[in-house]
Amino acid sequence: MMRIPCPWCGPRDEVEFRCGGESHIARPDPDRADDDAWAAYLFDRHNVRGAGSERWLHRHGCGRWFNLVRDTVTHEIRTVYAMTDPRPERDP
Amino acid sequence: MTGFRLPGGGRIDRGRPVAFRFEGRPYQGYDGDTLASALLAAGVTIVGRSFKYHRPRGLFSAGPEEPNAIVQVGPRPDLKATQVPLVNGLEAGPVNCWPGTRFDAGAAMGLARRFLPAGFYYKTFKWPDWNWWEPLVRRAAGLGRVDPAATAPEGQRRHLHCDVLVVGAGPAGIAAALAAGAGGRRVVLVEQDRLLGGSLLVDQGEVDGMPSDLWLARAEAELAARPETRILRRTTVFGCYDHGLVAAVERERIVWKIRAARVIVATGAIERPIAFQDDDRPGVMLAGAVRAYVTRWATAAGRRLVLFTNNDDAYRTALVWHGNGLQVAAVIDARRSADGPLPDAARAAGIPVATNATLLRALGRRHVRGVVVRDGNRRLRRIACDTIAVSGGRDPAVALFVQAGGRLAWQDAIAAFVPGDGGYTVATGAATGLFGLGSALAHGHAAGAAVAGAAPGDPPLAADVTTGTMLPLWHAGGDPALSWVDRASDVTVADVGLAAREGYVSVEHYKRYTTSGMSPDQGKASGVVALSLLGRATGRAPAAVGTTRFRPPWDPVPIAALAGADRGRRLRPVLHLPAHDQHLSRGAAMEEYGGWMRPAAYPQGAETRQAAIRREAAAVRAHAGLFDASPLGKIDVRGPDAGRFLDRMYIHRLSSLKPGRLRYSLAANEHGIVQDDGVIARLGPDRFLVGTTSGGAARMAEAFEEWLQCEWVDLDVFVTPVTQQWGVVNLAGPQARTLLGAAGTDIDLDPAAFPHMTFREGTVAGIPARVARVSFTGELSYEVAVPARRTAELWDALAAASVTAGIPPPVPFGVEALMTLRIEKGYLHVGADTDGTTYPADIGFDAAGRRGDDFVGRRSMQRPDAVRRGRLQLVGLLPEAADAVLAAGAHVVATGEGSDGHVSSACWSPALGRAIGLAMVRDGRSRMDETVTVDDLGRRLSARIVPPVFVDPDGSRLR
C-alpha cells in the first residue's frame, strides 16, 4: 500500500485517497471540438510505463485534490504539486 | 520404531502436561510443545495422507515449511502441525484422508499413480466438459473442510510505526535489534516463534564467552528493558508491500500493518531435501528438523538414523543424535570427501561415514525400515534404520526481500539464491547465505547500526564453524516417478521432466501446470529443488531458470484476521433515521435502502406487506400520508459564482431561478450519462440548496468538488453536504394543506401565496422549518425540513393535527408505497429507470439543445452514439392481463428473439386497479400502442406501450 504525501496533511496511507486518473487532460472547447477530438478527451490516456502525472483526492482527509508524479513501475512518488501548477518539465 | 520423548532436556515444561486429541485419540504432551513435536513424541508416525495419491505421510520438518502435517484444528482448516502450539483440549485431525490416516480409502489412488501425472486433470476431464466432472473431482481433492456454521474468533487490525523493523529474532536479528535500538531509536522485532533465538534454540554454542542460552537471555532482557523497543512473538511477517508497508499476523488473530523507516530481513534459511525414491515415507525428515526435535523438544524421531547429506552442516544432526545415546547407522555423503571439523567429529565419535555415496531408495511402506545406498564403488547395499535425515543445503528465506523490490543473485558456493541489490529492505544473517554463527552476529550488528545511523560499538562475538564446500544435488537416484519434489502437492521428479517435455519451460508455467509450490507450505523447502530440476531438464543453470514470483502472503493468513472487526453489521454500517424508533413503534418493516434503514411499509396487524403497500398508496391518493424523506441528499452550495457553477453541473439553467423557487433537474457526467436528479432551491442570490437522491448525496458532493478544484478553479463557490443536519417529513395527499394548517404554521399556505415548486421558511408546530412544495407522489405535497433532532416531534405534530382538523389521521407510508405512487405518475427513479448508458434524451429531456452556455456532458450528448436511432427510451407498459405484475429487469422481446429493452420499474397500481410498468424500449417513443412480448425468466406476457404517465397527466392534483 502506497504512502502518499498530501500537500496539506503530510504522508498518509493510500486507503485515505482516491485516484482520479491521469492529470493535465485539457478540456477542449466543446463547441469547437469535433467528435474525434471530444472522444480523445474523454477516452484517450497515455498509460505510461514509468513516470506519469495523476490527480489524487485526499478523500478521507482534507478533501483536496492535488497532482503527483508517480512511477507506474516502482510506485515511487517523485513529486507532489498543486492542481493549478504546470506539469513538471522533466523527471524531478 | 517410532518417535519418543527423551528423558531430559528440551525447552518444554515437563511439570505442565497438556492433554490433546488427534483423530479422536487422546495423547499427552507438554507446555512448550507444538502439535508436531507432541505427535512425534507420542509415537504417531502417520500424520496425514498426501494430496493426490493418498500416500501415508509423516512429519518432514519442524517449521513453516512443513508439507505433510497439514491438519484441521477444530474448525480451522489446513494448519501446519509444526506451527500449532499445543494447548489443553486441542482437537486436531488430518486432512486428505477418509476414514483415517491408518486406513484411507483414497489410497487406491496411489495404485493409479502411473495414470495421474502432472496435467492429468487438464488432459482427462475434457469430455463432455469440466462441469460434469467438477463435483467428483472436488470431493476427491481439496484439503481441510470449512464449517460454514463455525465462527472464527474476531480478528483485529493494528498499526505500528517505527524507525527500524527487524524481521526474525535469530542471532542476526537480535544483533541487529540490539545495535539499531542502542541510540534510542524505535525498534520493532518480530519473531514467528514463541521464543526468540532462531537457530540458537536448536544449536547451542558460545557467544561473547558465555553459553548461547545465557547470552540469549541477557539480550532478550536488554531489549525488553528498552522503552522504545517492542518485541512481537508468534508474529509472522507475511508481506512487504509498496512504500515500505510490512504486514504481519500475530497468533492468527491480529494483523499488524507496520510502517518502518528501515526494514531488516533476518529471516534465516530453510533446509531443502535431496530427492530419492520413496523419500516421502514417514521417517524421512529434514536433517535440521530431526536435530531440532531432539534439542528443542527432547524428542527423538526414532532410534536408528541414516543421514544423507551433501554438506558439512548436516553432520550436526548425526552428532546430536549420537550425543543423546541414539544410534547413527551411517552418514551417506554425496561428496568425494568430507574433511571439515564436523565430519571429523562424527568420525571421532565412531559414526560410520561413507563419502562419494548416494542414497537411492527408502525401504518400508508405512514407516522407514532401511535405505538402499550405492557406495563409491557403485555397489548397492542395504542399511537398516527407522529415520532418514536428509539435507541438500539451505535456501536463504528471501521472499520478503524480493517482495520489497529486491533482486536475487545465484551463489554457487551454497547453490542457492541470495539477496542481491534493490528494494527497501536490508537482508542479514542466514537470509544472505551467511550460515556461520559468528558471521551472522557480526553482519546483523553492522546492519542494525547502519540503518539506525548509530555508532556501531562491539558486535557479539562467536566463532564460525569451518565448513567445507557443498555439492549441488537435486535427485540422488531411484525411480523419478517415486522421488518427490513437492510433497504437499504430490509433484515428483518425473512430473518436472514431463512438464519440460510438454513445453512448460518457464518456471511460472511449470508451477501452474504441476501445481508445485501451491499448497499451504507454498513450496518453502521445494522451490529451489524444483527450479534446479527444471533447469537440468531444459539445459539451463538454476540462475537462468529463476524463481517464480514471490507474492504475499508468505504464509497463510486467516481471513478472520484480515477482516478484523469488519464483520457482521460492522462490515457496512447502516444509517438510522432521526425518527427510527417512532417508525418502529408504528409497525414499520425496516429495510436497507442505499445505506439507510428505512420503513419499507407499515403492515398493520396480520396485514401482508403487499396489502400494506397498496393500502398506503391508496390512502395518499384519497386522503393524506406521511413519509420520512430525511435521507434525501442536501448540499448547500454558496458563493458569488454558485449560480454559474450549478448551470454547469445540471442540464437545466439554475442561475435564472428566483430566490424562493424550486427547479427539478438532472445531472450528467462528462460522458453525458445521467448521474442523479433532484430539486434545487434558491435560498438567496448567492446560495442554493441542492437536493439529490439518497444514494447520490455523497457522489454528487464529490463531483462538485472535483470540478471546482480541478477544472473551474476560478469559480468562487463553497460546497457543504448537509443531508444529516435536516430531518424531512413529506406530507402528501389531497388533505395535506388542511393538515399542515392544523399543525400550526406562520407560513401562508394559500396556493396563490405558496404555489407548487416554491418553498417558504417559517415555523411548523413551533419548530423552525423550511417547507417546500415539491412532490414525488403526484399529489399535493409539502416537504417539511426541520433540524434533524426535532424530526420525531414534527412527525407527531403532523399526525396529531388531524384531531384539530377533525379528519382521519394521515397514513404513514413507506418506500414501497412511494415507489408505487411515483411509477403511477411516471416519475423517474435514477438508478432504476436509468443505467450507465442512459442519456437525458432517452428519458425525455432534450438537454443537448440548451442554448448559450455549456454544462457537464452536453457535448457528449451530441456524439453519434447519443443521437442514433435505436436507443432505449422511457415508456409506460400496460400488461394485457390487468393482474399480471411485471418484473423489473424482464426483457422486451424483439422480433427475432433479441432484446428490445427491459422493464425498469413495475408495480400493481391501486389507482388504476391493475398492473403497470415503466420500461426502456428501443425507439420506444415512436412505438406507442404497439403490443410487445415481455419475457420474465421464461414467463411471457403481452403488454402495450403507452406514455409513461398513468395518473393525472396534466398535473392538476399537484396544485
Contact criterion met (CB below 8 Å) for B159 and B420: no
State whether A74 and B405 contact (CB < 8 Å): yes
Q: Confirm if B178 and B448 have CB atoms less than 8 A apart.
A: yes
Give yes or no for B669 touching A (CB within 8 A): no
Spans of chain B, pLDDT less than 50 = none
Find the mean pLDDT for residues A27-35: 95
Q: Which of B193-196's residues contact partners 24+ apart within 8 Å by CB, and which partners?
A: B193/B169, B193/B233, B193/B234, B194/B85, B194/B233, B194/B234, B195/B11, B195/B233, B196/B169, B196/B220, B196/B231, B196/B233
Cα–Cα distance measured from residue B168 to residue B518, given in angstroms and rounded to the nearest whole number: 24
Q: Distance, in angstroms, between A15 CA and closest chain B CA?
A: 12
Instruction: Name which of B894, B874, B880, B873 is nearest B941 in CA terms.
Output: B880
What are the distances in angstroms from CA B876 to CA B106, B362, B866, B925?
A: 62, 79, 22, 10
Closest alpha carbon within chain A to B857: A30
Q: Among B615, B611, B613, B606, which Cα is nearest to B591's?
A: B613
Do residues B843 and B694 make contact, with C-beta atoms less than 8 angstroms apart? no
Which chain A residue has the Cα nearest residue B671? A42
Query: Which class would CATH give A1-26+50-86?
Result: alpha beta
CB-CB under 8 Å, A2 with B242: yes
* Disruptive mutation site among A6, A57, A71, A72 for chain B (greatest number of B CBs within 10 Å): A57
Q: Do the Cβ atoms of B858 and A74 come within 8 Å?
A: no
Chain A partners within 8 Å of B243 (Cβ): 1-3, 75
Whether B242 sits inside 8 A of A39 (CB atoms) is no
> Which residues of chain B make contact with A39, given a CB cutoff of 8 A?
863
Over residues A30-53, the mean pLDDT reads: 95
Cβ contact A3–B245 (<8 Å): yes
Q: Which residues of A touch B244 (CB under 8 A)?
A: 3
Q: How far apart are CA B121 and CA B840, in angstroms?
A: 52
Give the integer Cα–Cα distance in Å for B95 and A23. 53
Long-range contacts of A31-34 (CB under 8 A, 24+ apart): A31/B854, A31/B859, A33/B859
pLDDT at residue B822, rounded to an integer: 98
CA distance A41 to B725: 39
Report residue B133: phi and psi, to 5°.
Answer: -85, -25
Contact flag B259-A33 (C-beta cutoff 8 Å): no
Name the residue facing B709 among A3, A27, A65 (closest C-beta).
A65
Question: In a 3-state reduction of DSSP, which class is residue B157?
Answer: strand
* B243 to A1: CB separation less than 8 angstroms, yes or no: yes
Q: Is the pLDDT of residue A86 over 70?
A: yes
- Give every strand in the sheet of B304-309, ordered side by side: B284-286, B387-391, B304-309, B327-333, B353-354
Q: How far apart are CA B796 and CA B790, in angstroms?
A: 10
- For residue B107, count CB atoms less than 10 angstroms from its CB and return exposed for 0-12, middle for 13-18, buried for 19 or more: middle
Instruction: Please judge whether B244 and A3 are an interchain contact, meaning their C-beta atoms are less than 8 angstroms apart.
Output: yes
Q: Which helix (H) or strand (E) holds B581?
A: helix B580-585
Question: Is B702 in contact with A64 (Cβ distance < 8 A)?
Answer: no
| Closest CA–CA distance from residue A90 to any residue of chain B (Å) | 22
Yes or no: say if B526 and B485 are a contact pair by the CB < 8 Å rule. yes
Q: Choose the mutation target among B710, B711, B865 for the interface with A, i.e. most A CBs under 10 Å.
A: B710
Closest by CA to B393, choosing from B274, B255, B231, is: B274
Which residues of chain B lie closer than 8 angstroms to A64, CB-CB?
A: 709
Q: What average pLDDT does the structure give for chain A?
A: 94
User: Chain A closest CA to B859's CA: distance in Å?
Assistant: 6
Here the cell at position B430 is: 542466514
Q: Find the closest chain A residue to B862 by CA distance.
A: A35
Cβ distance B859 to A30 less than 8 Å, yes or no, reads yes
Q: CB distance from B259 to chain A under 8 Å?
A: yes
**Would you call B618 helix, strand, or coil by DSSP?**
helix
Answer yes or no: do B670 and A42 touch at CB < 8 A: yes
Comparing CB atoms, the residue among A31, A59, A64 nearest residue B709 is A64
Please give the interface size between A and B, counted as residue pairs whose CB atoms are below 8 Å apart.
Answer: 50
Question: Is A38 in contact with B859 (Cβ distance < 8 A)?
Answer: yes
With 0-12 / 13-18 / 19 or more C-beta atoms within 10 angstroms meaning exposed / middle / buried, residue B606 is: exposed
Cell of B387: 529415520
Give the residue numbers in A contacting B (CB under 8 Å), as ranges: 1-3, 13-14, 20, 27, 30-31, 33, 35, 38-39, 42, 55, 57, 59, 63-65, 74-75, 83-84
Does the predicted interface ipTM exceed a cut of 0.85? yes
Disruptive mutation site among B243, B256, B862, B868 for chain A (greatest number of A CBs within 10 Å): B243
Instruction: Report the distance separating Cα B798 and Cα B629, nearest Å.
Output: 14
Interface test with A, best of B647, B709, B861 (most A CBs within 10 A): B709
Nearest CA in chain A to B713: A84
Question: Could you tell me how far CA B398 lies from the centroid of its own chain?
Answer: 24
Tell me how far apart the alpha carbons of residues B504 and B496 are, in angstroms, rounded to a whole number.
9
Residue in chain B nearest A55 by alpha carbon? B710
Query: Cell numbers of A51, please?
Result: 513516470
**How far apart are alpha carbons B836 and B718 in whole angstroms?**
29
Phi and psi at residue A84, in whole multiples of 5°?
-90, -5
Q: Give the three-class secondary structure for B199.
A: helix
Nearest CB neighbour to A42, from listed B259, B854, B860: B860
- Tell which B residues from 401 to 420 touch A, by Cβ distance under 8 Å: 405
Task: Please state, as a whole number, how many other Cβ atoms lie within 10 Å of the Cβ of residue B141.
Answer: 12
Nearest Cβ partner for A30 among B243, B405, B854? B854
- Determine the pLDDT at residue A92: 45
| Phi then psi dihedrals of residue B895, to 5 deg | -60, 130
Judged by CB atoms closer than 8 Å, whether chains meet at B858 and A55 is answered as: no
The CA distance from B578 to B794, in Å, is 11
CB B293, CB B40: distance < 8 Å: yes
The Cα diameter of chain A in Å comes to 42
Residues of B in contact with A74 (CB under 8 A): 405
Query: What 3-state DSSP class applies to A37?
Result: helix
List, for residues B730-743, the tens digit of each pLDDT value: 999 999 999 999 99
Q: What is the pLDDT of residue B879?
A: 97
List of chain A residues whose C-beta atoms are within 8 Å of the C-beta of residue B710? 20, 55, 65, 83
In the block, residue with C-alpha cell 407527531: B796
A contacts of B242 (beta carbons < 8 Å): 1-3, 14, 75
The one-letter amino acid code at B293 reads: Y
C-alpha closest to that of B872 among B940, B927, B953: B927
Q: Do A65 and B710 touch (CB under 8 A)?
A: yes
Task: Write b or e for each residue in B824-851: b if 16 or more Cβ atoms lie within 10 A of its Cβ, otherwise e.
Answer: bbbbbbbbebbeeebbbbbbebebbebe
Query: CB contact, 8 Å: B243 with chain A?
Result: yes
Taking residues A34-41, report their average pLDDT: 96
- Three-class SS state of B179: helix
Contacts of B705 in chain A (CB under 8 A): 57, 63, 65
CA-nearest of B739, B777, B746, B772 to B757 is B772
Residues of chain B with Cβ-Cβ distance to A2 below 8 Å are 242-243
Indicate yes or no: CB of B705 within 8 angstroms of CB of A3: no
Put simply, whether B88 touches A (Cβ < 8 Å) is no
d(CA B879, CA B310) in angstroms, rounded, equals 83
Residue B179 has φ and ψ, to the nearest 5°, of: -70, -40
Question: What cell was used for B880?
Answer: 394485457
Contact A20 B706 (CB under 8 A): yes
Q: Which residue of chain B comes nearest to A4, CA vs CA?
A: B243
- The pLDDT of residue B140: 62
H-helix or E-strand containing B537?
helix B527-538
CB contact under 8 A, A3 and B710: no
User: Is B243 in contact with A20 (Cβ distance < 8 A)?
Assistant: no
Q: What is the DSSP letter of B198?
A: G
